[in-house]
């Protein structure tokens, strides 16, 4: 894939769609309300992120694009907050209309004890007024001649109607601009005239009235929707199974995804829409753009919550050849931030540590059994100097860089961090695992880091070891040969 990401900074895109605010409220539950049999959440903090078409915009800006926004929010504090957030990331909000008759869409997620206990939605789903419609179309007529491409992010909140699509298609065609849409709803004929439509597998299945269960039904559904919708191209995203691009009179173009740990699919469709639009705006063919979007989606599902992919992440992913292992090696700082987010969403973190020099079946069992205790397994790997201090001057047999690559190839291992043995306490404090595992050849009372883990409510688990197998034993056997 020959894509020059540096050209992304020269693009200008218009995003029109349903703007939202995602609010996260974090707290603790210590009692049941005396007024009703419900939990009382003592709020500790809260934060806000851009949702809906706002997440598409966030992805575009993060990748370097200039973005102009068209949308409608309420004339309320949430509307102001949303516009302020868009302004803060550098988006042009001159096309955002504040409407007294609407609520700004806000989804509030209340999270306690590592799990979501309630979601509260505030929104207006009715179609925008005729007056607001005219204002949006007029702004589109002013903006579209100066942009490279138009993205439509439809979340079914009343802005992207059939009439709106028709107007946008007419304006886009008049100025020879490409129009790409992420759909909502059962009737894809609403998007007639759009250059590319990007439903996920579930949306395509519902719109066609037929379950997609295998390659054959996927191909039939894709062909059917392409025929009836009136769009030029149709991309069905299939999660871990990749994506399939359908074009008239062409064989379906399938892109397989690279296997990686999925933490959260929230916003993956937004990333796909943004990256395809950005790549096409930068002058690349649709197939190249779709392949890049597939790579970007694989990155973003490894993050938590609605998230954007960066240029650096894309470049690193593109450098990997088909034979390379997934980039699981990370820094302690990055792990600390990721673990806080994962635990806030109820994910259980498991940590194990060791030299893991000359990997053997006992290590494989340790990793598999450790992963089964939680959702994410982190392996803290002793650096070469530490191994020498622990095992002797002739160790390690395999250097840290190669040990990282070997561990990264294991499905059970999600992240690898290299550390100095003397810093184990710091590693545990930063990661704060729910479970720390060691082999059963250790005494649980003597496991280093046990007191730290137990102090904040975690525990130590001893994994049964494979008798008679160790790296030292194998190395000594080899030396005797």
Q: Which residues are catalytic?
A: 270
- Answer whether the bond into residue 317 is a cis peptide, omega within 30°: no
- SS3 annotation, 357-388: CCCCHHHHHHHHHHHCCCCEEEEEEECHHHHH
Cα 213 from chain centroid? Answer: 24
Structure tokens at 258: 């690279």
Residues 6+ positions from 84 with CB-CB distance below 8 Å: none
Q: Kindly give, in sequence order, each residue whose CB lies less than 8 Å from that of residue 107, ignoring residues fewer than 6 positions away.
A: 20, 21, 22, 23, 51, 119, 120, 121
Contact of 70 with 15, CB cutoff 8 Å:
yes
Angle formed at CA 357 by CA 356 and CA 361, multiple of 5 degrees: 65
Residue 329, SS3?
A: strand
Assess contact for 62 and 309: CB atoms under 8 A: yes
The answer to whether 385 and 421 have CB atoms below 8 angstroms apart is: no
72 forms bridges with which residues in the sheet? Answer: 97
Question: Terminus-to-terminus CA distance in the chain, angstroms?
Answer: 48
Residue 329's Cβ-count burial label (10 Å; 0-12, 13-18, 19+) is middle
Task: Enumerate residues 6+ apart whose C-beta is below 8 A from 38.
Answer: 32
H/E segment holding residue 111? strand 105-112
Instruction: Count CB neighbours of 75 within 10 A.
Output: 14
């Amino acid at each position: 894939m020959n894509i020059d990401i540096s050209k992304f900074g020269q693009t200008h895109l218009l995003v029109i769609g349903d703007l939202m605010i995602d609010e996260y409220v974090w707290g603790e539950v210590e009692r049941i309300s005396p007024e009703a049999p419900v939990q009382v959440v003592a709020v500790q903090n809260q934060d806000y992120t851009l949702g809906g078409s706002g997440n598409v915009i966030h992805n575009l800006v993060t990748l370097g694009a200039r973005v102009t926004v068209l949308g409608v929010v309420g004339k309320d504090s949430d509307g102001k907050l949303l516009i302020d957030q868009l302004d803060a990331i550098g988006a042009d909000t001159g096309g955002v209309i504040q409407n007294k008759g609407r609520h700004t869409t806000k989804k509030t997620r209340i999270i306690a004890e590592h799990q979501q206990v309630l979601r509260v939605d505030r929104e207006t789903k009715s179609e925008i007024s005729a007056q607001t419609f005219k204002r949006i179309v007029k702004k589109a007529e002013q903006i579209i001649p100066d942009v490279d491409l138009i993205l439509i992010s439809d979340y079914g909140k009343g802005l992207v109607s059939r009439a709106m699509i028709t107007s946008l298609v007419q304006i886009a065609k008049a100025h020879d601009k490409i129009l790409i849409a992420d759909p909502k709803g059962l009737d894809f004929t609403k998007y007639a005239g759009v250059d590319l439509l990007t439903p996920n597998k579930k949306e395509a299945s519902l719109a066609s009235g037929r379950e997609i269960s295998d390659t054959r039904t996927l191909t039939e559904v894709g062909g059917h929707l392409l025929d009836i919708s009136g769009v030029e191209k149709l991309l069905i995203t299939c999660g871990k199974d990749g994506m399939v691009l359908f074009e008239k009179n062409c064989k379906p173009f399938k892109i397989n995804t690279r296997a990686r740990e999925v933490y959260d699919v929230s916003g993956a469709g937004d990333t796909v829409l943004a990256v395809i639009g950005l790549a096409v705006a930068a002058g690349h063919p649709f197939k190249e753009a779709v392949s890049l979007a597939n790579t970007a989606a694989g990155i973003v599902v490894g993050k938590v919550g609605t998230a954007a992919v960066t240029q650096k992440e894309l470049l690193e992913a593109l450098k990997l050849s088909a034979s390379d292992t997934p980039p699981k090696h990370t820094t302690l700082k990055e792990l600390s931030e990721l673990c806080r987010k994962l635990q806030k969403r109820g994910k259980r973190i498991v940590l194990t540590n060791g030299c893991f020099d000359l990997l053997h079946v006992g290590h494989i069992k340790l990793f598999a059994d450790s992963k089964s205790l939680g959702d994410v397994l982190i392996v803290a790997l002793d650096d070469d100097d530490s191994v020498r201090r622990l095992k002797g001057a002739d160790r390690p047999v395999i250097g840290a860089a190669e040990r990282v690559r070997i561990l990264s190839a294991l499905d059970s291992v999600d992240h690898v961090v290299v550390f100095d043995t003397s810093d184990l306490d710091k590693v545990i404090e930063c990661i704060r695992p729910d479970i720390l595992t060691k082999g059963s050849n250790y005494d649980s009372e003597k496991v280093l880091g046990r007191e730290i883990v137990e102090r904040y409510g975690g525990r130590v688990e001893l994994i049964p070891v494979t008798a008679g197998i160790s790296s030292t034993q194998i190395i000594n056997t080899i030396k005797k040969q």
